[in-house]
Structure 1
Amino acid sequence: MKDLIKAIDGLPKIVRFLGTLIWGILTNIYRLCRSIAKQDVLGVVLAIILLLCGGFFILWIIDLVCILLDKPIWWID
Protein backbone atom coordinates (compact mmCIF):
# COMPACT_ATOMS: atom_id res chain seq x y z
CA MET A 1 0.00 0.00 0.00
CA LYS A 2 2.81 2.38 0.86
CA ASP A 3 4.32 1.90 -2.60
CA LEU A 4 1.01 2.81 -4.23
CA ILE A 5 0.72 5.91 -2.05
CA LYS A 6 4.27 6.99 -2.97
CA ALA A 7 3.57 6.32 -6.65
CA ILE A 8 0.45 8.48 -6.65
CA ASP A 9 2.21 11.21 -4.65
CA GLY A 10 5.08 11.11 -7.15
CA LEU A 11 2.90 11.72 -10.18
CA PRO A 12 3.12 15.12 -11.84
CA LYS A 13 0.48 17.63 -10.80
CA ILE A 14 -1.22 17.64 -14.22
CA VAL A 15 -1.52 13.83 -14.26
CA ARG A 16 -3.07 13.80 -10.78
CA PHE A 17 -5.45 16.60 -11.77
CA LEU A 18 -6.55 14.91 -15.00
CA GLY A 19 -6.87 11.56 -13.26
CA THR A 20 -9.13 13.09 -10.64
CA LEU A 21 -11.07 15.14 -13.18
CA ILE A 22 -11.75 12.20 -15.50
CA TRP A 23 -11.91 9.39 -12.95
CA GLY A 24 -12.91 10.75 -9.54
CA ILE A 25 -12.58 7.37 -7.85
CA LEU A 26 -8.79 7.66 -8.06
CA THR A 27 -8.52 9.90 -5.01
CA ASN A 28 -10.94 7.77 -3.03
CA ILE A 29 -8.84 4.68 -3.71
CA TYR A 30 -5.86 6.77 -2.56
CA ARG A 31 -7.73 7.58 0.67
CA LEU A 32 -8.53 3.90 1.20
CA CYS A 33 -4.88 2.90 0.68
CA ARG A 34 -3.69 5.62 3.09
CA SER A 35 -6.09 4.41 5.76
CA ILE A 36 -5.08 0.78 5.26
CA ALA A 37 -1.39 1.69 5.46
CA LYS A 38 -1.97 3.59 8.72
CA GLN A 39 -4.28 0.83 10.02
CA ASP A 40 -7.04 3.40 10.58
CA VAL A 41 -10.29 1.42 10.85
CA LEU A 42 -12.53 4.50 10.74
CA GLY A 43 -10.78 5.76 7.61
CA VAL A 44 -11.13 2.37 5.89
CA VAL A 45 -14.83 2.16 6.74
CA LEU A 46 -15.51 5.72 5.56
CA ALA A 47 -13.56 5.21 2.33
CA ILE A 48 -15.50 2.01 1.56
CA ILE A 49 -18.81 3.77 2.28
CA LEU A 50 -17.78 6.61 -0.04
CA LEU A 51 -16.91 4.11 -2.77
CA LEU A 52 -20.14 2.14 -2.44
CA CYS A 53 -22.53 5.08 -2.06
CA GLY A 54 -20.98 7.39 -4.62
CA GLY A 55 -20.00 9.84 -1.90
CA PHE A 56 -16.64 10.42 -3.57
CA PHE A 57 -18.42 12.98 -5.77
CA ILE A 58 -18.85 15.12 -2.64
CA LEU A 59 -15.09 15.33 -2.15
CA TRP A 60 -14.32 15.54 -5.88
CA ILE A 61 -14.28 19.35 -6.01
CA ILE A 62 -12.19 19.55 -2.82
CA ASP A 63 -9.71 17.08 -4.34
CA LEU A 64 -9.38 19.13 -7.53
CA VAL A 65 -8.73 22.32 -5.54
CA CYS A 66 -6.19 20.55 -3.30
CA ILE A 67 -4.30 19.22 -6.31
CA LEU A 68 -4.26 22.62 -8.03
CA LEU A 69 -2.92 24.26 -4.85
CA ASP A 70 -0.32 21.49 -4.31
CA LYS A 71 -1.92 20.54 -1.01
CA PRO A 72 -2.24 16.93 0.17
CA ILE A 73 -5.50 15.12 -0.56
CA TRP A 74 -7.88 15.92 2.28
CA TRP A 75 -8.69 13.01 4.59
CA ILE A 76 -9.23 12.33 8.27
CA ASP A 77 -5.85 10.82 9.10
Structure 2
Amino acid sequence: MSTAPLPLPPKDTAITYILWFFLGLFGIHHFYMGKVGRGILWLLTGGLFLIGWIVDLFTIPSQVRAVNARRAAGYR
Protein backbone atom coordinates (compact mmCIF):
# COMPACT_ATOMS: atom_id res chain seq x y z
CA MET A 1 0.00 0.00 0.00
CA SER A 2 1.45 3.34 -1.08
CA THR A 3 1.31 6.37 1.19
CA ALA A 4 2.27 8.92 -1.44
CA PRO A 5 0.79 12.35 -0.71
CA LEU A 6 -2.07 13.49 -2.88
CA PRO A 7 -1.34 16.39 -5.23
CA LEU A 8 -2.52 19.76 -4.02
CA PRO A 9 -5.54 21.28 -5.79
CA PRO A 10 -4.67 23.71 -8.61
CA LYS A 11 -4.91 27.46 -8.27
CA ASP A 12 -7.38 29.32 -10.48
CA THR A 13 -6.31 32.07 -12.90
CA ALA A 14 -9.64 33.92 -12.62
CA ILE A 15 -9.42 34.07 -8.82
CA THR A 16 -5.83 35.26 -9.10
CA TYR A 17 -6.89 38.09 -11.44
CA ILE A 18 -9.72 39.10 -9.11
CA LEU A 19 -7.32 39.24 -6.17
CA TRP A 20 -4.79 41.10 -8.32
CA PHE A 21 -7.35 43.71 -9.36
CA PHE A 22 -8.76 44.47 -5.92
CA LEU A 23 -5.85 43.69 -3.58
CA GLY A 24 -2.84 43.40 -5.88
CA LEU A 25 -0.99 46.37 -4.43
CA PHE A 26 -0.88 44.44 -1.15
CA GLY A 27 0.38 41.24 -2.83
CA ILE A 28 -2.64 39.15 -1.88
CA HIS A 29 -2.59 37.34 -5.23
CA HIS A 30 0.99 36.21 -4.52
CA PHE A 31 -0.01 34.92 -1.09
CA TYR A 32 -2.87 33.02 -2.77
CA MET A 33 -0.39 31.35 -5.13
CA GLY A 34 1.87 30.44 -2.20
CA LYS A 35 4.57 32.97 -3.01
CA VAL A 36 4.91 34.37 0.51
CA GLY A 37 8.22 36.17 -0.03
CA ARG A 38 6.98 37.97 -3.10
CA GLY A 39 3.70 38.74 -1.33
CA ILE A 40 5.58 40.41 1.51
CA LEU A 41 7.68 42.37 -0.99
CA TRP A 42 4.52 43.60 -2.76
CA LEU A 43 2.94 44.43 0.61
CA LEU A 44 5.89 46.54 1.71
CA THR A 45 6.46 48.33 -1.62
CA GLY A 46 2.93 48.83 -2.96
CA GLY A 47 3.30 46.28 -5.73
CA LEU A 48 6.90 47.33 -6.39
CA PHE A 49 5.75 50.92 -6.76
CA LEU A 50 2.95 49.93 -9.21
CA ILE A 51 5.41 48.64 -11.81
CA GLY A 52 5.28 45.04 -10.55
CA TRP A 53 1.49 45.27 -10.27
CA ILE A 54 1.26 46.20 -13.97
CA VAL A 55 3.75 43.48 -14.99
CA ASP A 56 1.60 40.95 -13.13
CA LEU A 57 -1.31 41.83 -15.43
CA PHE A 58 0.56 40.10 -18.25
CA THR A 59 2.38 37.37 -16.32
CA ILE A 60 -0.35 35.94 -14.06
CA PRO A 61 -1.33 33.11 -16.47
CA SER A 62 2.25 31.82 -16.66
CA GLN A 63 2.73 32.25 -12.90
CA VAL A 64 -0.41 30.21 -12.19
CA ARG A 65 0.70 27.49 -14.65
CA ALA A 66 4.08 27.26 -12.92
CA VAL A 67 2.50 27.08 -9.46
CA ASN A 68 0.03 24.43 -10.63
CA ALA A 69 2.84 22.36 -12.19
CA ARG A 70 4.78 22.42 -8.91
CA ARG A 71 1.64 21.52 -6.93
CA ALA A 72 0.85 18.62 -9.29
CA ALA A 73 4.38 17.33 -8.79
CA GLY A 74 3.88 17.39 -5.03
CA TYR A 75 5.76 20.56 -4.18
CA ARG A 76 4.16 23.40 -2.26
TM-score (norm 2): 0.45
Structure label with greater radius of gyration: 2
Name the structure, 1 or 2, with higher relative contact order (CA <8 Å, separation 6+): 2
